[in-house]
A and B are shown apart, each in its own frame.
Chain A
Amino acid sequence: MTRRTAILDGNEAAADVAYRLNEVIAIYPITPASPMGEWSDQWQGEARKNIWGAVPKVIEMQSEGGAAGVLHGALQAGALGTTFTASQGLLLMIPNMYKIAGELTSTVIHVAARTVAAHALSIFGDHSDVMAARATGFAMLCSNSVQEAADFALIAQAAALESRIPFLHFFDGFRTSHELNLIFPLSDDDLRALVDETLVRKHRERGLSPDHPVLRGTAQNPDVFFQSREAINPFYRACPTIVQDVMDRFASRTGRAYKLFGYVGAPDADRIIVMMGSGTGPVEETIERLRSRGEKVGLLKVRLFRPFAPSSLLAALPKTATAVAVLDRTKEPGSIAEPLYLDVVAALNESPSARPRVIGGRFGLSSKEFTPAMAKSVFDELKKTAPKNHFTVGIVDDVTHTSLEYDRDFSTEDPQTVRAVFYGLGSDGTVGANKNSIKIIGKRTDNYAQGYFVYDSKKAGSVTVSHLRFGPRPIRSSYLISKASFVACHQFQFLERMDVLASAEPGATFLLNAPLPPTEVWNHLPEPVQQHIINKRLKFYVIDAYKVARETGMAGRINTVMQTCFFAISGVLPREEAIEAIKDAVRDTYGKRGDAVVEKNFAAVDQTLAHLHSVNVPQQASSGMRVLPPVPQRAPSFVLNVLGPIIAGQGDSLPVSAMPIDGTFPTGTSKWEKRNITQQIPVWDEELCIQCGKCVLVCPHAVIRAKVFDSSELRAAPSTFKSAKPRWRELENLRYTLQVSPEDCTGCRLCVEVCPAKSKSEAKHKAINMEPQEPLREAESANWNFFTSLPDLDRERLSPSHVKDVQLLAPLFEFSGACAGCGETPYIKLLTQLFGDRLLIANATGCSSIYGGNLPTTPYTANHHGRGPAWSNSLFEDNAEFGLGMRLAVDKQADYARILVARQASILGETLVSGLLTSDQSTEADIAAQRERVAELKRKLSSQDSSEVRDLLAVADSLVRKSVWLVGGDGWAYDIGAGGLDHVLGSGAKVNVLVLDTEVYSNTGGQMSKATPRAAVAKFATGGKQTAKKDLALEAISYGSVYVARVAMGGNDTHTVKAFLEAEAYDGPSLIIAYSHCIAHGYDLAFGMEQQRAAVLSGYWPLLRYNPVLRAEGRNPFQLDSRAPSIPLRKYLYQEARYSMLARNNAEEAVRLLELAQGDVDLRWKVYSNHALGNETPVVSQPETVTSAQHAHQDGDAT
């Protein structure tokens, strides 16, 4: 019987089964498991039914802990429930997992296994999270491939119902969760055949019901707890057999046979690898290759890890085995070895028969590549008389020498498999097109297909590399392509920065998108590229894809053009059929975006082939062009030797000794990574500029800076360096310069949009205008370097409450990896300008921790005194507590320093002691004076030597006031960290909280939070958010002792700056809720500030400050700082896709929600106005109805 196939990734494969087998699905976003929740939410929105004909209820919770709680409750009340998670999320579920297992409750949690954060966070895959949950009592079933992710989702569910033991079904994060592969999906009938209805009914009957009441969850005492705990043993003993039975039933239905320990390889193997997860694919390939050479090797794939079944293991292990290597994808520091190894050793130890030698090793942490070459090195190691135990493979450990050597040239790639690598930009659509190509090939040919995609750690100008395999045999190669038969470079500029042809095998095809005709392209290639092409005899094709895209109205989207080229050259399909298939795919992908988009893509397909040319390759390389180094030679050695290779994509080659031992990294390194990602940069017109500083304030990447300096400095200036007379009183005799860093700019255009100075003769010309970067790059880089060498103006001469003056304060946050036009980073930059040299930041996980702390380089930097923000990220959920801890530490050290200062009064002198102990450090001048006192203290104590003096010197810097800021997004502040934040605000401690409110979980792709406004579409709010946004400001105000501000830089920048200063000055907790426009809002972020303004004008985002200090002065602490709404809410909302897409999808619902949202605004305005009038009891009334006429006026052709 021919069965249907599908191209899915592991997440969709697992979710597709889980959704159909459950009734209650509790979700929370976490990479890489989020898509399982997103699929479920989408299917719920489409009213897709489970196998019992009902639509499951999908509910997003405030954390994984919350999701586990809901799951536990749903199960206890008799529903079939599930959840999806990974990493820290799984750890948050552990308390409930013990309960669920202890109560013998049937459920399956599906996990895209991910690294648990230790010295650093990592979103990538290994088994450290799963291993952390192995003591909970959950059974653990591991899928090694996308097909298995579907199959085991079913097997786990069936076995959980039969065994009553809950299952954790897991597969490797990213490598399996995000790998596209051709699979045979399971039908509803397959699901029904495996899931026994009687067992489902029994599960329901065990649910709590007042109709047959029981009590579960007692507290027990020393007398019986132990015995009760042992009462579950029979269930665990029975479980492996049940799983195997289910697997056998599954096999008889589907033909896919699985064993608890699946063996592949020589029946008489002497050397065996035992492992679980996606790494089994390359080991299998290696075994085939080695067996063809006569070697006797095999692989034992662990499927059921818990309950561990020694007898099954022993039965599966060939009796001929003499040496076994157990590979763990996790690390347990301090343990004898990792868990799977220990289990295997224990199993063999308990066996009466002769035992093979067993060694253990670690591989693949955080998605580190695991290749056949590495697998071979393990088999080679097993040949040795004294093989290395507790080894690592895949890295170079030059510190404790655990690593195995491996032959990098060993490859098991199948020559019949097309192996294609594509280099593209996130914004050019390459990945999307490749995903379509895989689906086309999977659907239209008999080939198997696989796709895996590698993304950037930066959000702006991000590079993507797609790895595609197609061939007649199933593809198990769960590793990147290092021998490509086809390489496509979709961006010409990549050639000077990365070695795109390194993976090309001899005779491969090279497709290049170049803005040059075929006759000229050769002379513009760097020499290493020419050498690759000649030496490897590559077939070289070129197309000017941007030209085709432009001519067909596709703007920067070259995906369809390049996809057409790929099919035309690769011959995977006949050309005519390929073109038809591409058009089908275009229709499928873009059809619902309207005919115009489809038509333009068709036009691009039709015009491509006429522009695709084969290039005649000369015999000799002729170019003098070299590949640019990742960082300049003058960079500090750590940057040059460690960060440089990471930037160049060669981080895999760095040895253990190159790494900091505790995750501590230097700051100020982003300035060395010149990314040149924009075609256009802002250029200053010094004649027109009014020096307001708005562009400097909004620049998300700190690439526009201003300085005022002595005119004598200009003597050394480059010839094109511009300056103007400063427009400040008392600074007229100096010079002012606004300088752009051309190589760091992302081209977002926020600066141009915010610039208020327009030419009186030509309104489109402003004081800052976008111009092509390339012709300006060299001169402006020189100008930038000169500019950065200029001294900063003395801070004491400036008034930090004026935006105009703020521009002259050096930012200590620069060139982050945030999205172009990011709405969060301007606030962080401002924070560092105001308090950066005495700033500690506790940063919740999220966008701000990623652009703030993702390698290779860090945007936080230091001033010319070497002082700057000290930054750390603990977790997502605990950031308020983490920051409070910092505050307590800083305060205790200062207390201790004060005690010691008093004790050393005789040496320090009365004046200095009194100054040190009494300065309130409320102004920049005070702080500078205190710094000078501390310096004097150090000078005076330098000649002293006693234990106390040494202590005082160690803590003396704490006498300068520190500013502790708790920074994070709305996911943290409104949801997962709300409890902690509330507690910290209630503690009265002097911490400052900055909430970068983008109103969704931005970093994980736009899921709804409690900050999401009513009527906005978000993931998990597909039909538009039904409830109003939580008013975090009012919550905090209710304490009466918390400084609270609601700011929007684009609404009123002076207000924002004032709020930051007041919050920091307030002697108690402060909370700033900052409106942050975001790519997840769905519009061109160049207009971010304009939208912020509209948010304020519409009353959606009233500006306010609540300052408890004012109460002491007899004034109303509640200050409403924006005017009554002057535009209808819709004027603001419908500029953003998050709202307009609902109007496009479901107009009636959009109208309904808009009216409610307008009501929210009206009500809030009433409440706020009432507060502002000093009324203690807010007026709460029903929102007024807004007539459509009020909102519709001035639209259309009103006659």
Chain B
Amino acid sequence: MIDITTTYMGLPLRSPIVASASPLCDSLENIRRFEESGVGAVVLPSLFEEQLELESHATHSDLSRGAESFAESLNYFPNLQNYNLGPDAYLELIRKARVSVSIPVIASLNGISVGGWTHHAKLMEQAGASALELNIYDVVSDAHHRGSKIEEDYCELVRQVKACVRIPVAVKISPFFTAIANMAKQLDDAGADALVLFNRFYQPDIDIDSLEIVPSLTLSQSQELPLRLHWVAILHGLVRANLAVTGGVHSGRNVLKAMMAGAHVAMMTSAFFQSGIRHANVVLHEMSQWMEEHEYDSIQQMRGSMSRRSVPNPSAFDRANYIRVLSSYTLNPRRAAAKAAPGSARTE
């Protein structure tokens, strides 16, 4: 019998596949289907503190617009008893999910103030979340904000959240740090129980016909996986925190790579969007089959087996790898034929 169980931040999981934060995890029905399909845990969609504030203001303006101005229409909407503008609906989802499924339910939070982070973290814990995932999603466009200060703030935030909750806390970060390893170490020192690599962001695109900025978020591709594998492989063993891969995990083979690089779990969403929640079964089957064919006993056995510290030539994870890729690319016959086109190399 092949053992595909794993642990994540101390939580025993029956499989290393975790449904990552997305609207798919927004309904009890889907969460139940995830459990039935074999995933090890679900991460609920992120609760955005900023969004709560925006929603509150939007509701206020919507209800106030045109009100008390004209004798025949002193307002334009019925007086509803409540609007779920606070975290209540989210907390209710946690509560209901916890009693509906036996797999861990991880709450995800994106705050904008230290007070907001800790306040909501406590509420999530009280609502019964198995763990928290802090989704550090921030576009720092102010040129006066120093990176080192921002890094310090992130760590302080993790310390504060850790100080106010007992459940494990994961931190989901982006790959856009100058020194990811150092950042990971700092977060580790701050008490993070897991690091989730990496966040994918909405990326504004430019519509050249309408001259407008259009928000875009495409579903992830397997090509995005190597970046994650790269850093998990480097961080494995460097940090105490568990590691999770998110972004580009679409197949059983992808999950196995993540495990070999050193991850405790592999998170998926895009594949579920494309192939449905039952796709988890397919992935698990593919994994198990491969493990059987290759005579692996357990996930535990392979974890980190291909990490930087476990491979014979660690420089493959360093700059040397970059050079090799480039040179192999230059030696590609098609590339050689295209050499005539000047400047094209820079675009690759």
Contacts and interface: CB of A to CB of B under 8 A. Distances in A.
A363 B71 CA distance: 22
A1198 B217 contact: yes
B181 interface: no
Contact of A594 (B69, B74, B86): B86
B219 interface: yes
Interface in A432-477: 432, 453, 455-456, 459, 462, 464
Contact of B65 (A425, A850, A1082): A1082
Contacts of A427: 69
A427 B76 CA distance: 14
B329 interface: no
Interface string A1012-1028: 00000111111000000
A654 interface: no
A407 to B, nearest CB: 30
B153 to A, nearest CB: 21
Contact of B59 (A464, A1003, A1141): A1141
A416 interface: no
A593 interface: yes
A853 to B, nearest CB: 14
Contacts of A557: 64
Contacts of A41: 78
A1005 B69 CA distance: 11
Contact of B83 (A32, A1082, A1141): A1141
Interface string B62-101: 1111111111111111111111111001000000000000
A819 B71 contact: no
A45 to B, nearest CB: 7
A1019 B268 CA distance: 43
A1199 B270 contact: yes
Contacts of A46: 81
A1127 interface: no
Interface stretch (B18-26, B289-297, B302-310): B18-26
A464 B85 CA distance: 31
A758 B211 contact: yes
Nearest to B201: A1197
A336 interface: no
Interface string A1170-1189: 00000000000000000011
Nearest to A367: B71
Contact of A429 (B68, B74, B81): B68
A426 B66 contact: yes
B57 A1189 contact: no
Contacts of A174: 71
A45 B79 CA distance: 10
A1195 interface: yes
A1137 B68 CA distance: 18
Which label, helix, strand, loop or mixed, suits the secondary structure of the B interface? loop
Nearest to A601: B60
B84 A1137 contact: no
Contact of A456 (B46, B70, B77, B135): B70
Nearest to A760: B211
Contact of B76 (A425, A1079, A1140): A1079
Contacts of A42: 78-79
A408 interface: no
A344 to B, nearest CB: 33
B267 to A, nearest CB: 6
A1189 B70 contact: no
A597 B73 contact: no
Contact of B62 (A34, A35, A1019, A1141): A1141
Contacts of B247: 1199
B5 interface: no
A1145 B246 contact: no
Nearest to B83: A1144
A34 B76 CA distance: 12
Interface residues of B, number: 64
A594 B85 contact: yes
Given A594-B83, A1144-B59, A426 B69 contact: yes
A1005 B73 contact: yes
Nearest to A590: B60
B88 to A, nearest CB: 11
Q: Which of A430, A758, A1194 has the most CB of B within 10 A?
A: A1194
A432 B75 CA distance: 11
Nearest to B219: A1198
Nearest to B45: A1196
Contacts of B212: 763
Contact of B71 (A123, A1192, A1198): A123
A174 B70 CA distance: 13
B68 A1197 contact: no
B24 A1192 contact: yes
Interface in A1-47: 31-32, 34-35, 38, 41-42, 45-46
Contacts of B137: 1197
Contacts of A1017: 77-78, 80
A592 interface: yes
A1022 B85 contact: no
A1006 B52 CA distance: 27
A898 B55 CA distance: 66
B62 A1137 contact: yes
Given A596-B52, A597-B57, A1189-B24, A1197 B46 contact: yes
Contacts of A274: none
A456 B135 CA distance: 50
Interface string A123-144: 1000000000000000000000
14 contacts: A426-B66, A429-B68, A455-B70, A1002-B76, A1006-B75, A1079-B76, A1084-B65, A1141-B77, A1144-B84, A1147-B89, A1197-B20, A1197-B137, A1197-B200, A1199-B270
Given A32-B72, A426-B66, 6 more contacts: A123-B71, A426-B69, A594-B57, A850-B72, A1145-B82, A1193-B219
Give me the 4 closest cross-chain CB pairs, A-B, nearest first: A426-B69, A594-B56, A594-B85, A1137-B62
Interface of A: 31-32, 34-35, 38, 41-42, 45-46, 123, 174, 178, 425-427, 429-432, 453, 455-456, 459, 462, 464, 557, 590, 592-597, 758, 763, 819, 850, 1002-1006, 1017-1022, 1079-1080, 1082-1084, 1137-1138, 1140-1141, 1144-1145, 1147, 1188-1189, 1192-1199
